Amino acid sequence: MDGGLAFPALVAARFLLALAPSPAVLKHDQLLSSPLTSFSRLQEGIFLFENGIDPYSGGSFRHSPLLLSLFSTVLPLTRLTASLLWTASDAIGAWALIHIWRSRQNVKSSPRDGLLAAFYLFNPYIFLPTLALSTSTFENTLYLLSLLFACQGRSSASLLTLALLVQLSLPSVLILFPVVLLLVSDCVSRLASPRPFAADIRKTLPLLAEFAAYSLLLTIASTLACGNWSWVEKTWGAPLLLPDLTPNPGLWWYFFTEMFDHFRPFFLMVFSVHLLIYVLPICIKFQHDMLYASFLLLGVFATFKAYPTLSDPGLFLSMTSLFPEIFPYLRHPIVTALLHLHASLLLPLFNHLWLTQGTGNANFFYASTLVFGMANGAALLDAVWAGLRIAVGELKDGYEVVQE
Q: What is the pLDDT along the chain (404 residues), one digit of tens a residue?
A: 455 677 888 888 888 888 877 767 788 888 999 999 999 999 999 999 988 898 998 888 999 999 999 988 888 888 888 888 999 999 999 999 999 999 999 888 888 888 999 999 999 999 999 999 999 999 999 999 999 999 999 999 999 999 999 999 999 999 999 999 999 998 888 888 888 888 888 899 999 999 999 999 999 999 998 888 989 999 999 999 999 989 999 999 999 998 888 899 999 999 989 999 999 999 999 999 999 999 999 999 999 999 999 999 999 999 999 999 999 999 999 999 999 999 999 999 998 888 888 787 888 899 999 999 999 999 999 999 999 999 887 766 555 666 55
DSSP-derived 3-state class of residue 45 = helix
100 CB-near residues (< 8 Å, 6+ apart): 144, 147, 148, 151, 187, 291, 322
The DSSP code for 232 is I
- Listed residue (168, 196, 19, 8) closest to 98, CA to CA: 8
Q: What is the 3-state secondary structure (H, E, C) of 178-215?
A: HHHHHHCCCCCCCCCCCCCCCCCHHHHHHHHHHHHHHH
Residue from 108, 199, 213 nearest 156 by CA: 213
Q: What is the pLDDT of residue 74?
A: 80
- Asked whether 36 and 169 are in contact (CB, 8 A), the reply is yes
Distance separating alpha carbons of residues 348 and 31, to the nearest angstrom: 8
Output Rg (C-alpha) for the chain, integer angstroms: 21
CA 126 vs CA 87, 215, 286, 315: distances in Å: 10, 27, 27, 7
Please tell me the predicted confidence (pLDDT) of residue 46: 92
- Which pLDDT belongs to residue 279? 95
- Alpha-carbon distances, residue 288 vs 12, 109, 360 (angstroms): 38, 25, 49
DSSP secondary structure letters along 283-316: HHHTTT-HHHHHHHHHHHHHHH-SS--THHHHHH
* Ramachandran bin of 402, using left for φ above 0, alpha for ψ from -120 to 50, beta for the remaining angles: beta
Q: Determine the 3-state secondary structure of 361 from DSSP.
A: coil
pTM beyond 0.75: yes
φ and ψ at 392, to 5 degrees? -75, -35
All structural domains of the chain with their residue ranges: 3-389
- DSSP calls for 89-144: HHHHHHHHHHHHHHHHHT-S--TTHHHHHHHHHT-HHHHHHHHTT-THHHHHHHHH
| Pairwise CA distance, residues 295 & 299, whole Å | 7
pLDDT at 151: 95
**Whole-number Cα distances in Å, 279 to 115, 171, 197, 296:** 30, 12, 16, 10
Q: In whole angstroms, what separates CA 182 from the centre of its chain?
A: 18
- What single-letter DSSP state applies at residue 20? S
Q: What is the pLDDT of residue 141?
A: 96
Give the separation between CA 35 and CA 20, rounded to whole angstroms.
Answer: 26
Q: What is the dihedral of CA 202, 204, 205, 207, to 10 degrees?
A: 150
